Amino acid sequence: MDCSKVQEAGEYNTKMHPMWQGPLVVPGGDRQSPIDIVVRKSVFDSELKPLLTNYDPRTCQQIWNNGYSFLVEYDDTADKSTLEGGPLQDKFRLCQFHFHWGESNAWGSEHTLDRRLFPAELHLVHWNSNKYSLFEEAVMEENGLAVIGVFLKVGKRHEGLQKLVDALPAIRHKGSVVEFTKFDPACLLPTNTDDYWTYHGSLTTPPLTESVTWIVMKQHIEVSHDQVCEVYEVKYFSHGCYQGF
C-alpha cells in the first residue's frame, strides 16, 4: 500500500486536462483535487490497513441523470453499505457512485498517473457516519468524505458493469430517474484493493471543499469498446467536449 504525499498544485492540472481551458478558480487551501500522482515521490506507509468494504446490494435505489452526469444512488440512512480501514479511522457510508469520461478514449480521468490520463475514472462516494448525521453536513466538514477512485481502460467486456449499461437507455435525457436495484458496487472494484495511493484532498466539483480522503486504486479495471459506446449515447447538458458521469 502506498501513501501519496505528492499533492501537485491545481495549476498543473489546468495545463494537463483538456476540459480546463483556463485557470481553475478554487477556494483558499492547498489540498485541491484532482492531482497528478507521481509514483516515484509516493511514500510507502506500513501502518495503512487493508480496506474493508461491506456493500449491501439491496441498498441500491436508482440512477439519476442530473444534466451533467449520472449517479447510481444508495440508501444511506443506516450503516448498511460501508467502508472502513485503509487510512480511515471511522466508518463511512456509501451514498453514490459515478464516472468521469471524455469524448474519446484518449482522456477522461480526473486524476493522472505520472502525467498519464486514463479513458475514465470511477468514484465511489462515502461519508463519515461516525461524526456526522447527513451527507450534506459531512461534505462541508473536515474528514467528512472518503472517495475510492478507480481508473478504467478500454479492453475486455466488464460483466459486472453490463447491468448498469443495460439500464442507460432509460436515462438518456436530463432529469431522467429510474429505479435501479440490487447492484453490488464491489463488482466494479479491481481484484487487488490492498494497493492504493491515498491523500487528503477536495471535491473536484463545487463547493470544492477540502473534506475528502482520496483512495485511488493502483490496479485499473477494463470495459469494452461497446460498453463505452453505450455511455456516449446518454445526453448531458454539459458544454464543450467533456462528459462527466
Please name each of the domains of the chain with its CATH number: 2-244 (3.10.200.10)
pLDDT tens per residue across span 7-42: 333 333 444 444 444 445 555 578 999 999 999 999
Residues 138/132, Cβ–Cβ less than 8 Å: yes
Mark 56-86 as b/e (b = at least 16 C-beta within 10 Å).
beebbbbbbbbeebbbbbbbbeeeebbbbeb
C-alpha cell at 42: 509516493
Per-residue pLDDT tens over the stretch 56-101: 999 999 999 988 778 999 999 999 999 999 999 999 999 999 998 8
What cell numbers appear for 75 in the block? 440508501
CB 79 within 8 A of CB 59: no
CA dist., res. 83 & res. 125, Å (int): 10
- pTM, rounded to two decimals: 0.86
Query: Hey, CA dihedral for 145, 49, 217, 182, is it positive or negative?
Result: negative
Question: Which cell is 214 given?
Answer: 482520496
Q: Bridge-partner residues for 153, per DSSP? A: 222
Q: How many residues does the chain have?
A: 245
Q: Which residues pair with 147 in a beta bridge?
A: 125, 214
The residue that leads in pLDDT, 237 or 190, is 190
Predicted confidence (pLDDT) per residue in 191-231, tens digit: 999 999 999 999 988 888 999 999 999 999 999 989 988 87
Q: What is the C-alpha to C-alpha distance for residues 25 and 139, in angstroms, rounded to an integer?
A: 19
Share in percent of the chain as helix, strand, coil (round to 5): 15, 30, 50
**Is 217 within 8 Å of 93 (Cβ atoms)?**
no
Distance between CA atoms of residues 159 and 188, nearest Å: 9
Burial of 26 (0-12, 13-18, 19+ CB in 10 A): middle
Dihedral sign (CA 202, 95, 137, 65): positive
Hey, which residues does 134 pair with through a beta bridge?
none
Peptide bond between residue 34 and the one before it cis (omega within 30 degrees of 0) = yes
Q: Which three cell numbers stand for residue 3?
A: 501513501
